[in-house]
Structure formats: structure tokens, C-alpha cells
Structure 1
Amino acid sequence: MSEYLVAARLFDGEVLHEHCAIRMDGGQITALLSADDIPAGSTTTELDDGLLAPGFIDLQVNGGGGVLFNNQPDAAGLARMVAGHRPTGTTAMLPTLISDTAEVHRAGVEAVLAAQAAGNASVIGIHIEGPFFAAARRGTHREDRIRRPDSGDIEWLASLGPRLTTLVTAAPEQLPAGAIATLSAAGVLVCAGHTNATYSDISAARAEGLRGFTHLFNAMSPLTSREPGVVGAALEAGDCWAGIIADGHHVHPASIRIAQRCLPTGKLCLVSDAMATVGDDKDWFEIYGERIQVREGRLVNAEGALAGSAIGMIDAVRYCHREVGLPLQECLRMASLYPATFLRREQQLGRIAPGYRADFVRLDDQLQVLDTWVAGARQTHLSP
């Protein structure tokens, strides 16, 4: 049976509508129409205020709800992560494994498949971040987990392509020639990250099918006068996407503005890079046996080095709008439509339009999350 959702203001991913209605059937959007055209006697929910927008899609979620995915790679852990991030507007995510043993990574893949089989609609794939990194750019990834891949690693990763949406972050200079081409042909999305690559290395990776860059500006060789590095290559790569952590700590607001101006429209995506503290009462967690603590809004290890972020997606949207100065509608696209396009899911997610999944976020004038819907199922987070 159809149900209707009436919004005072609705941003469909492209255009702002007033007094608009959405018809939903079985968790899918089947029509967008004027509220005046709803058939008499229909099941209708009226949203008298706030802005309804496409639900946020987070490409890089290491943890949430008190769980770090590496520490609990199972369906129950994923359920807690999803619950921790949903109040921040995230309706779909790629749970992310940082560098670890092959056993942990394989357990994480099986956890995602189990969560999807159990009906967790917010878990739409997996992001395997490492361990094929440049040691000099490893950040807080444990050094003894960093290594080069062998043929078995590439074969296993390629086998995931037909099974689920898979994003792999690796340092291109650490991969054998042809590995990115093999993974791309299998449907795996490959991003450059934690890399000391040269401009030439990135050019070769793009020729093999490199899809994008993980947390632009962080853990990668910088742009300099005689060597553009990964940053320079990324800013020039109009065929690639880039994720960016807009938390006020990882990237200067001017750098975000520069990236947004350099890259073609639609290629810059907001990511949280969130850790276990998001959606949890504790302000610390452990990884690799090391305690990571929130200090003045920053997640840091004992040496004071950044170790992921303590934000959800609405925090990134709010920061980009208020501090970076980007238009709100563009910030919303950076959190929804652009990640969906990166994932090749732009015909299913990232818009409010017929044929799309009914994933929405409702925001108040202060850009706080009031409600979310995942496949038409509503949760209320704050009273208007």
C-alpha cells in the first residue's frame, strides 16, 4: 500500500521544492508530486518544517557506537556502527577496515555479507583501507601490518567485486603493474591513499583505472614546484573522485575550497573517517592495543597524532557550509549524490526521485538532524 510523505521544503539532489510529496511503496520512491495531488484517503505523514534531503552516504566509516570495525568484524558490530551514525544523517555507509591481518579483513567481508543478508540496508559495501601502503605515509596504521601484496591478495580482492561493492585504498607504488587494472576489471573501486607516489605513478594508476583518492591532502605526497605529487595529480585528475575529511582538524578550510574549485563538479565527496567514539558515550577507544582519545575535538594517540575523526556526516556538511563557505545544496550533494556516483549507485541512491530507495534526512534551520529514513523506515532523532 502506498504511503505519502509531505515536506514543506524538499531538496531532491538537484532542485529545491516547496510543499512537495513523495509516494513510497515497499521502501522505494514511486512518485514525486505536489502535495495537492495526493489522492483522498491516502496514508500521509506531514512534515511541517525542516528541509528534507537525500540521506547521507559515508564512504569511510572505521567505527561508531563504541565499536571499531577491526576490533569487532561481525554483523552485531556493524549494527552498532550503523546505529551510532544514523543520528548524524548517515543512511548508507561503507564500513572500513584499516590495515590488519588477512584474517581480520576476511572476517570483515563476511560480516558485511551477513549484515546485508540479515536486512541491514545501511551497509552497502566495504572499504578495505590498507595494508598495501607506503610505510612513510602510514599515519596511525600499525607498521607491522603494512606490506606489499602478493598474487593471492589481488586474486582475493578481485573475487569480491562480483559479490559486493568493494573499495580498496592502496599506495599505487606498492602494487605490482597491472594490479589496479585487474581489480578495476573485476568491479573493485581502487583509490590511492597512504601513498608516497610521484605524479608519474598516479598517471600510470589512472591509466589502469584508478577511481579516486582517499582523504585528500592527508597521508599523501604533497604538491611541490618540481614534483606535483599525489595532491597535484589528484587536483588535476578530472576523471577521479576525492574524499575529504571536513572536521576542522585534518584539512584547512582554504584547502577544501581549493579542491572544490580545482576538481570538476561532482568529484569531491565528504567522508567522516569516523572512529568508535561517534554515537558513543566514551571519548576513547583502542586499536592495536593503543588508546586513542578525543582531545579538543580531535582523536589523537599518545604522541598527539591524528587517528581518524570524531565526526559524523552532518558535522562535515555543517562545517563545509559554515566554515568553508560552500552553498548548502552543494554540501548536501557532497554528502549524498557525489558518493553515490563514485560508487556507481547514482541510479539508486543520492537523489529523491522515482526509482530511488527512500533514504532521507530531515534537517532543521541549525542543520541538526531531526529524522532519517532508510528504505522508507523512519527514525526520529530530535524534536523540532
Structure 2
Amino acid sequence: MQYFIFADRFFLEDRVEGPGYLEIVDGKFGSYSKEKPDCHAEVMNYQGYFIAPGLVDTHIHGYKNHDIMDGDFDGLNTISLELLSCGVTSFLPTTLTSSKENLDRVVAMIGRNYTKVEGAKIKGIFLEGPFFTEKYKGAQNQSYFLDPSIPMLQRWQELSNYFIKKIAIAPEREGAGPFIEFAVKQNISVALAHSHATYEEAEKAIGKGATTFVHTYNGMSPLHHREPGMVGAAMNLKDVFVELICDGHHVHPVAANILMNARGRRETVLVSDCMMAGGMPDGDYKLGEFPVSVKHGAARLPGGSLAGSILQLKEAVKNTVQWGIASPEEAIYMASTAPAKSIGIDHEGGKIAEDYAADFIVLTPSLDLVSTYLDGVCRYRQEEEK
């Protein structure tokens, strides 16, 4: 099946074009042209709108009253379906620090079922923990913290049908170096998080093959002029990616801009870190084993600490533009191509390029979501557009 999309602007792999025509052939992207196609194929008219790659959320714990740690397929499928309303077409279900038995159960469930979900595509599992330290533990259960274990990672790989795509650790823990090297050989992206590491310890971890700083600024040793810490490492080390939660609660827009300027927007990854209260009204919820209260757009533990977010990734894109710290092109890149690159799946998704799956979104000029397409088929449309 072949059709064309006409729109005012297209955020293509390496440039912005438009107005013009984008070809869709058998669920994949074809060629782009400024000229109207000389054939009888259908032309879908999105005049006045923008076409962008589907968003890729590489750090998300839940949505619509479901938590990945519940370990049930119905919940996972609901998250997958509901993420289409957030402009997300690919994601990494993200675990929390928990018992070995519970993590065994969750990764095995995802490994058995990831091809069966009906909405946004699951591209792997992100294990956030349990190899962390206490000082910056955030909403992670310290009673399960331990040193990085290669046998445990091997077990999780086997249980998940070798579907672990990303794992976060504290680089100061005993055995971090050999663990990172093993994980990298397994094609697992190693991230650094929930850590009081020094700059030097973070630098050593990057030297071993770690590539990402998780929810930068949050859950890590801060920048100090005599000890740059994890934040300084995130800003200064070469060829790494930095996650940012741009909900206005986790990071001040000025701090986000400082990091983007230091790191570069092509190495900045917008994530939601969303928990089960995303898409739900204010109230009481859970993040893993912890009770969480959601009020005024923020999810907090009883003591007041932030506990994940209720952010939708499409809103992170819009926020960075409205804050004046990114152009639409940069914001979209940080939520699609950069995340895909950070976990090594940019050869199959995260951008509009020939022969890639036609996973894309339709946006208004103010970056409000209109429609979400998977494999060239419209799977979500805002109510007013129906």
C-alpha cells in the first residue's frame, strides 16, 4: 500500500523540510519531495501541520494507573496503548529496585510478551537498579541495594529472552568496572544514577563503557567547584548522553539550559520518568512499593521527595520550546532520535528516514499532538480531530 502525506513541515532525519510530500509504502517511510507525486496514490492532507518522528521514551515506569512493577501483561498492554496519546511510538518499560525474585518475575513477563502489545512498541527493558547507593536513593528501596552482579544480570538476560537494553548503576560500587564491561559486551547500554560518585569515579565508569547519566541533576552528587561530582561529569565528559526530566519540577529551566549548552542538544535525551499516576487525576498512588501523593503536577513521597513524574513526553518537547531553551527541531530530536541513539536502536527507529517503520506524529505549529501513526496506520487521533 502506498500513500503520500502533504504537510507544512517535516522533521526529517537530518533536516527540516516543507511544505512537501512524504511517501509511505507498506508501512515504511519512502522518499520526500517538494513536488506533488506524479501518480494516483492517495494524498493525505495535513496542510497547516507538522510531521515528526514518533517519540521514544527510554525511561518510563508506568502510565494510566499501571506500574511496570505490577508484572502483568494487561497493565503493560494498557501502558503501550495509552502512550500513543503522548506521541510515544517506542519505549523501554522501566523497573525499580526490588527483590531479585520480583525483578525475575517482571523481566520474564516482559520478555515473553513484548511482541504482543498493541500500542507503542517495546524496544527493550531498562533496569533502574538495584545497584545503587543510599545518599541519593530517591524513590528507590535501599533495603535491596547491592553491588553490581554479573550472574544476576546474566539471569535477567536469560529470563527476558535477552531483552535487557539498558541498566543503571552507581559507579562507586564494588565491581562496577567489570560489570560495565560485561554489560557492554551484551549490547546493554550502561547508565549512571542514584550515586554519590566523585567526578573521577564517574569518569572511570565512562571509560569502561557507560554512556548515559540518568535524570541528570536528580539522584546524583552535585557540581561543586572543588569536586565536580556526577553533574560535572555529565557536563564535561565526551561522547555521553544525559537524560533530562523537563516537567518544571525536577529541573529548573535555567539549569536544563545550562546542561543542554554544556552537553549539546544532540546528546540530551528527554525522558518522562513517568509513574502510574501519569494521565490520572491528583490523588494517592504507588511507585513500586512506595506510597506516592500527586498534587499540582508533581508526584512525591510522604517526606516530600519527588517520586518519578506524571510527565507526558510530548509535554517535555513543548516545555523546552516554551521555556525558550530549544527550537522545535531540537526539542523533537531530543525526544526521538537522541533517545534512540542512546540505546543503540537508531538503525531501526527514532527518525523519519527511508525504509524505517513509518512511526510518526502529527503536530500543530504550537506542538500540540494531533495524531500518532504506527507503521503508517493512524492509531491515535485527538478527539476534536475525529
The TM-score with structure 1 as length reference comes to 0.93
Match of 1:179 in 2: 179
CA distance in 2: counterparts of 1:35 and 1:358, whole angstroms: 20
**Which runs of structure 1 show a deviation greater than 6 angstroms over 4 or more consecutive aligned residues?**
none
- Contact residue 13 and residue 352 of structure 1 kept, 8 A: yes
Match of 1:75 in 2: 73
CA distance in 1: counterparts of 2:245 and 2:318, whole angstroms: 12
- Contact residue 131 and residue 147 of structure 2 kept, 8 A: yes
CA RMSD of aligned residues (A): 2.0
- Contact residue 275 and residue 287 of structure 2 kept, 8 A: no
**Aligned residue-pair number:** 382
CA distance in 2: counterparts of 1:78 and 1:162, whole angstroms: 17
Question: 1:1-384 residue pairs with structure 2 within 5 A?
Answer: 1-34=1-34, 36-40=36-40, 42-70=41-69, 72-118=70-116, 120=118, 122-157=121-156, 163-164=162-163, 166-176=165-175, 177-281=177-281, 283-378=283-378, 379-383=380-384
Identity across the alignment (%): 26
- Contact residue 158 and residue 182 of structure 1 kept, 8 A: no
Letter in 1 for 2:151: G
CA distance in 1: counterparts of 2:94 and 2:314, whole angstroms: 19
TM-superposed deviation, 1:12: 1.3
The worse-fitting range, judged by mean Cα deviation, of 28-37 and 338-347 is: 28-37
Letter in 2 for 1:380: R
Deviations 1:108-136 (CA, angstroms, capped at 9, x unpaired): 22233333332545211111101110111
CA distance in 1: counterparts of 2:330 and 2:265, whole angstroms: 9
- Contact residue 66 and residue 80 of structure 1 kept, 8 A: no
Change (3 A) 1:107 1:22: farther
Change (3 A) 1:175 1:12: farther
Letter in 2 for 1:96: T
> 1:339 aligns to what SS in structure 2?
helix
CA distance in 2: counterparts of 1:161 and 1:260, whole angstroms: 34
> 2:279 aligns to what SS in structure 1?
coil
> 2:122 aligns to what SS in structure 1?
coil
CA distance in 2: counterparts of 1:326 and 1:97, whole angstroms: 30
> 1:383 aligns to what SS in structure 2?
helix
Change (3 A) 1:219 1:103: same
- Contact residue 160 and residue 188 of structure 1 kept, 8 A: no
TM-superposed deviation, 1:88: 1.5
Change (3 A) 1:270 1:259: same
CA distance in 2: counterparts of 1:43 and 1:364, whole angstroms: 22
Runs of 5+ in structure 2 lacking a partner?
none
CA distance in 1: counterparts of 2:38 and 2:260, whole angstroms: 40
CA distance in 2: counterparts of 1:271 and 1:160, whole angstroms: 26
Letter in 1 for 2:195: T
The TM-score with structure 2 as length reference comes to 0.93
Letter in 2 for 1:204: K
Runs of 5+ in structure 1 lacking a partner?
none
TM-superposed deviation, 1:146: 1.9
